Structure 1
């Protein structure tokens, strides 16, 4: 009888636990907690990589070795890809002071970055922290550093790195980016209580992933491929074209979505009336990422050659299918209404 009573108690406890776990508000609270923790992990990684970039830029500009330049370029790349992984977050602290635009001014249809670089490098006053702070978002982020490190025309000029003024601007710029990630991480950690206590951030988090996938499909892939806009293939509408890292950034964004966004979405879906969608979306993420590392290559040659272009088309089709699954089917299943995308375009 005692064993039966113990078994009954265990059964009741298990039922109570399952009922609690099935409570929609509890599930959504758990999903938001996981989102907050995962995004914090992404911001921590970004913070570490930007600090490394700033340190290497400062060290190289003091020594000017060929090996040092390669280290700076690699540090820029690692920091920029860390940003791509959390680029989907378009709400909360990243909105303060146009931080997202400070990290990456894109699209840049008017080549404002090159114009800002010419201004910074020709101004009468010596570069100082205020030079970067007052120059506007086009001069404050990763694309400006990319211009200084990788722009072909600039690097064939008399101002090419490691010219003193150019190096000073690069060091200040890297320091500005690193300082911004310090603030972003601290603010995100402080944002935990309002994020977890406000139900609206469930939808904001889902929409962030939806927006990121749509921008990835329509702006970062379809437009340079000539499938949107002018209908002409042009690598200059892609991001990171100067460093030939356009596709590397696509991969980093997809991996970031998989690591920092997807787990909470799957949790919500598996407790919806369409739980099978979770497995389909998870499988589609894997299929999209299978396009890499074969596509770890500059985009320009793929756009110029019809045979190679087919590889890009395969990636675009896979991304389009993923976008449809998340934006059209998953969003409906968990009751998220698509809102205005403030991060799309200029």
Structure 2
């Protein structure tokens, strides 16, 4: 005779649970995983498959240098878009270094590429995977295609560097495919961000907390990618060759891709992003962060020249510094007020101590 009462109590608990903040966080984590993060990983895989095919075509004389460079820039953009979404296997096991080596403070990329092509003239993807991370990824690929001391239109130089170029393309394709497979596997990252509890997250709040931590770290890294060449750590003395992708003059393109990706995590698809977790009483904070992204994008769009050119003039440096300051405001809003509003303890990030 107690069953109706127990049933009523259970239904009431379920109804309350459906309205709980945790449930909304679970929905948001799942939506971000399915509609924002996974599609970005898929684009990265597509770009790296094209990169591998491009290296083969270029080295076989079926595509010109401009085409090879364009395919590299597409792969680099796809990688930049992943920076604010680096949760799961890509953030583990030193894999990010295998995709890109930065910062390169002592021109290790150039020196180690030269050592490798001399020591292993016919290097392939399998042997490359056992080599230094410095020569496995996009930084080495960029060196081969864009360094001013190399001329890949010259047949002799092309023959010298093409085995490594093809090995890097194949290595990046294999790495990207492995990561995507692990995302889509049973109990992989897509499942872990969609169903709680699991081996990685005790509840959805842990998942949202990690997404915010990754976001904060990525925004902090963008500041570092500007601050280092700006000379913010060297008493204002610009160091343009400490910029990311300085050889291809695409430092700011990378920043733009990563910033757009960070904003996509904030907004989500169909408004199911981190922003949706703020209540009506936190509307002012949401609007402040919206305005922060808008300001940062505006200042970035105003930078019409490559970073190296801008740093060569006082006015250009001022423009870059203004953009840096706007980026700093966005990052601080995430690490301060947003983290507090969501009850997230950030702790240290990957850049602490750099």
TM-score normalized with structure 1 length: 0.87
Cα distance in 1 between the residues matched to 2:89 and 2:105: 27
Matched, 1:79 2:75: yes
Within 5 Å, give how 1:257-276 maps onto structure 2: 257-263=262-268, 264-270=273-279, 273-276=281-284
Higher deviation after alignment, 195-204 or 303-312 = 195-204
The CA RMSD measured in Å over matched residues stands at: 2.5
Matched, 1:184 2:190: no
Within 5 Å, give how 1:43-58 maps onto structure 2: 43-58=41-56
State the Cα deviation string for residues 114-141 of structure 1 (Å, max 9, x = none): 1210112101552222331111211111
State the Cα deviation string for residues 138-159 of structure 1 (Å, max 9, x = none): 1111111000011112339989
Secondary structure of the corresponding residue to residue 229 of structure 2:
coil
Residue 173 of structure 1 and its aligned partner are, at CA, apart by 0.4
Cα distance in 2 between the residues matched to 1:256 and 1:18: 35
- The unaligned stretches of length 5 or more in structure 1 are 1-15
1:36 is matched with which residue? 33
> Among residues 201, 211, 216, which one is paired with 1:205 in the alignment?
211
Residue 172 of structure 1 and its aligned partner are, at CA, apart by 1.1
Residue 50 of structure 1 and its aligned partner are, at CA, apart by 1.2
Residue 101 of structure 1 and its aligned partner are, at CA, apart by 0.9
Matched, 1:227 2:232: yes
Tell me: CA distance 1:279–1:20, structure 2 relative to 1, closer, same or farther (3 Å): farther
Cα distance in 1 between the residues matched to 2:83 and 2:161: 28
> Among residues 338, 341, 344, which one is paired with 1:333 in the alignment?
341
2:129 is matched with which residue? 133
**Paired residues of 2:229 and 2:241 also in contact (CA < 8 A):** yes
Residue 327 of structure 1 and its aligned partner are, at CA, apart by 1.2
State the Cα deviation string for residues 19-55 of structure 1 (Å, max 9, x = none): 6664111111011112212110110111111111111
Tell me: CA distance 1:142–1:95, structure 2 relative to 1, closer, same or farther (3 Å): same
Matched, 1:113 2:109: yes
Number of residue equivalences: 326
1:6 is matched with which residue? none
Secondary structure of the corresponding residue to residue 97 of structure 1:
coil
TM-score normalized with structure 2 length: 0.85
State the Cα deviation string for residues 294-330 of structure 1 (Å, max 9, x = none): 3253111111101222221221121111112111111
Cα distance in 2 between the residues matched to 1:28 and 1:193: 15
Tell me: CA distance 1:337–1:79, structure 2 relative to 1, closer, same or farther (3 Å): same
Residue 82 of structure 1 and its aligned partner are, at CA, apart by 0.9
Tell me: CA distance 1:260–1:57, structure 2 relative to 1, closer, same or farther (3 Å): farther
Matched, 1:104 2:129: no
> Among residues 293, 317, 326, which one is paired with 1:285 in the alignment?
293
Residue 64 of structure 1 and its aligned partner are, at CA, apart by 6.1
Cα distance in 2 between the residues matched to 1:34 and 1:63: 44
Higher deviation after alignment, 26-35 or 280-289 = 280-289
**Paired residues of 2:124 and 2:166 also in contact (CA < 8 A):** no
